[in-house]
Each structure stands twice: as C-alpha cells, then as structure tokens.
Amino acid sequence: MIDKDFSPEEKKATLGLAGVFSLRMLGLFLVLPVLSIYAHKFPEATSFLVGIAIGAYGLTQAFLQIPYGLLSDKIGRIKILLFSTVIFILGSFLAAYASYQQDIYMLILGRLLQGAGAVSSVVIALIADLTREEIRTRAMATIGASIGMAFAFGMVLGPWIASHFGLAGVFIFTGLLALISIPYIVWGIPRPKVIIHHEDAEFTSSYLGTVLKDKNLLKMDFGMFVLHMGLTAVFTTAPLILKKFIPANDLWKVYLVMFLVGLVFMVPTTILAEKKGLIKEIKILGILILLISFGLFIKFENNLIPAIISIIVYFTGFMVLEPIMPSLMSKYAKPQVKGTASGVFNTSQFLGAFVGGALAGYLMKFGYDKVFYALGVLTILWLTVVFTMEMPKKKS
C-alpha cells in the first residue's frame, strides 16, 4: 500500500500508526476464538454472561469512538491516544486478573474497559492530519490491511497462548502489546503542525442528519451490524462445538486452515469486486456462503469433520465480505460526509459485535442450533436488503 507517492514523513506516520492500531486490534482478536471455551469454566458463568463478556468491548467502543475523535480535535490527538491506550492496558490486565480469579463479572468489566480504549477514530484523525488528501485513501487502506493481518495472527496465536498460559495469559499478552506501543506514541509519532477537523475522515455532527436520511448508507450500516453480530455469535458458539471433538490446545490448527482458505477466496473476490465492477454480485455471494455455513452448523453440529467444514465455510464468507464493505460504504457517501458516514458505519459494526455475543449467549441455553437459526433469519433479511440497493455508479 505504501508507494513512492508517500513522502518520508507520511510513510513514517502511516506505518507507525498502522502498527499501533494493529497491536491493539491483535489483542482483541487473540481473545475471540478462546474466550467462550475458558470463560464457561468460571463458577458463576452462564452462557449469557459469557456472551456478554465476548461482545462487551463492542458496546463501549461503539459509544466512545466518536466522542474520542471529537475530543481529540479540541485537546490534541496524542493526549487522547495515550489516554485510551492506558485504559485499554488497564482493561486487559483487569481481564487477566478476572480470568485468574475466574470471576465472570470482573471479566465483563475488564472487557468494557478494553472497549473504552477505542482508538480507531483518533488514529484516523491523526492519519488525516499527517497525510495529504490525494494519498489519504491509500494510507487508510494500509491501516485496513494491518487490521487484516492482526485478525489472521490473532485467530491462530490466541488458542496457542491460551493452551500454554491460560486465558489470563492471553489478556496479559494483550496488555503487553499495548504497553510496548506507548514509547512510539510518546516519541515516535510525528506531531501534526496543525490539528484541523477533516470532514472526509472524521465525524461531523452537522452531517449526521444527511447520513441517516441516505437509504443506501443505512442499508450498509445494517449489513455491517449483521456481519459483525454474526462474527461474535459464531465465535461464542462454534468453539464450544469444536471442543467436543478437539482439545482446546489444538484448535489453532483448525483456525489456521480456516484463515488460509478464507484468504484464498478473499483475494480474487476482492479483485473481481473492485476491478471488474462486480461488487454487488460478490456481496451476494458472500452472504450466500454465510447462509450455507449456518445450515451446515445446524445439520452437522454433532459431527467432527462437517463441524470443521462449517466454520471454514463461515469464515470464507466473512473474508469475502469484510474487505468490500467499507469500500462500498465509501462509494455511497459524498466526499464531505465520508467521515460522518464512516463513524456511523463503524458504530454499527461495534454494536453488532456486542449484540452478537449477547444474543448467542442467550440462545445457547435453548440449543446451539438456535443461534444459527437466528443468524440465518437476520442474514436472509440482509440479503433481501442488498437486492433493493442501488449500486453506486462506476467512475468513468
């Protein structure tokens, strides 16, 4: 993503902030594939409380990312970035202590604090301050690519760490990842000469009404909500299904295959969507793959190989959809409201993450299949919505 059009200062800022952000997101992704398995062992844990713990970070992240961004306009990006990093570290270590004590309520509090360390809006604002408008989109794409890599490593590394050091070890490692980013935040990140509000990259309250009146943007928000609701719901439920057949310390092997297969499909479908103008067709394909996976989970919950195939199919659909969703949202938004549209879009994503954990936790007590029935119904609704959307006009 970084090319010769970037100045040395822009390259340093982009790569540095991508590193800071990806370390934070890696910490969150490390926990996703293992939290359900280990937290269910806590004495007072119920499926619903475990689901809340898995999705809790999304709740505080959803409500705080826009205020953090606006506050950083007033008192400075670095101050807010440092503050949120400290909050995230405290949340991670509290979650580690809660895991050691096997206290589900303290674990939920730790996860809420982790989410309160939301920094996406501040990082985006800093990138906007430190890059020229003509290369800003590529800088944002670099951030996105770093998150994708963090997701990949997290899905494989999390189960491995948990198998050797327990759930507390995962959270300690998460906190340490954020801790090592502090020196770079203090001394390494270039300071913007002027802090201004960038409408193309940041939330602007006066444009909120415009964004909420745009039917296509609202449909994109709904889609992102459902996609990430499904992600946390599946990883609240599926690890418990797999654990019936595979020891927890071997789950990383399944997740590695899952990621590699997803990656194989993600690259060509993203190229087809972006370069060949088939974004609607690829989006529909991704949603259909998700629906197939939910059906497989329902039918083959008690069979090892089909259960593994089910999660691989699910993750393939997710990987097909995840990179094209932000791109499509930005195509619908007019330049001056892109920052606001992105803020609402990301808030929908984090709310979906919270609801997915809570919903799966509640429905699991009636049977794992009920989770996938619910996801199937909502995903069919999303598919119906996609069919009603007008695709953005291709640029000549």
Any idea what the Cα angle at residue 163 is, between residues 158 and 167, rounded to 5°?
A: 65
Tokens of 24: 């934070």
Q: 2 pLDDT band (50/70/90 cuts)? A: low
Confidence of residue 19 (pLDDT cuts 50, 70, 90): confident
R_g of the chain, CA atoms, integer Å: 20
> What residues contact 191, with CB distance under 8 A and at least 6 apart?
78
Residue 280 has pLDDT above 80, yes or no: yes
Whether 361 has a pLDDT exceeding 90, the answer reads yes
8 Å CB contact between 315 and 259: yes
Evaluate if residue 395 carries a pLDDT over 60: no
pLDDT of 4:
63
Q: What is the mean pLDDT of residues 204-232?
A: 92
Q: What is the mean pLDDT of the chain?
A: 89
Higher-confidence position of 247 and 134: 247
Closest CA to 130 of 249, 33, 41, 13: 13
pLDDT over threshold 90, residue 206: no
Q: Quote the pLDDT of residue 66.
A: 87
Domains with residue ranges and CATH for the chain: 1-201 (1.20.1250.20), 203-396 (1.20.1250.20)
Q: What is the pLDDT of residue 356?
A: 97
Residues 95, 111: contact at Cβ < 8 Å? yes
> What is the band of 330 on the pLDDT scale with cuts at 50, 70, 90?
confident
4 CB neighbour count, 10 Å cutoff = 6
Report in angstroms the alpha-carbon separations of 380 from 188, 249, 291, 348, 360.
47, 35, 8, 18, 18
Say which residue, 196 or 294, is predicted with more confidence. 294
Nearest to 311 by CA among 326, 294, 286, 288: 294
pLDDT band of 10, cuts 50, 70, 90: confident
Q: For the residues 27-39, what does the mean pLDDT come to?
A: 92
pLDDT value for 396? 43
Average pLDDT over residues 154-183: 92
Cβ contacts of 265 within 8 Å, gap of 6 or more: 316, 319, 320
**pLDDT tens, position by position, 76-131:** 888 999 999 999 999 999 999 999 999 999 999 999 999 998 777 788 888 888 88
What contacts 229, CB < 8 A, 6 or more positions away? Answer: 352, 353, 355, 356, 359, 375, 378
39-82 pLDDT tens trace? 999 999 999 999 999 999 999 999 998 888 888 888 888 899 99
Angstrom distance (rounded) from CA 219 to CA 310: 27
Distance CA 53, CA 357 (A): 8
Residue 4 makes CB contacts below 8 A (sequence gap 6+) with none
Predicted confidence (pLDDT) at residue 394 exceeds the cutoff of 70: no
Output 193 or 361, whichever has higher pLDDT: 361
Sign of CA dihedral 151, 155, 160, 161: positive
Decide if 309 contacts 179 (C-beta within 8 A): no
For 332, the enclosing helix (H) or strand (E) is helix 324-332
Helix (H, G, I), strand (E, B) or coil at 18: helix
- pLDDT at site 148: 78
Say if residue 342's pLDDT is above 70: yes
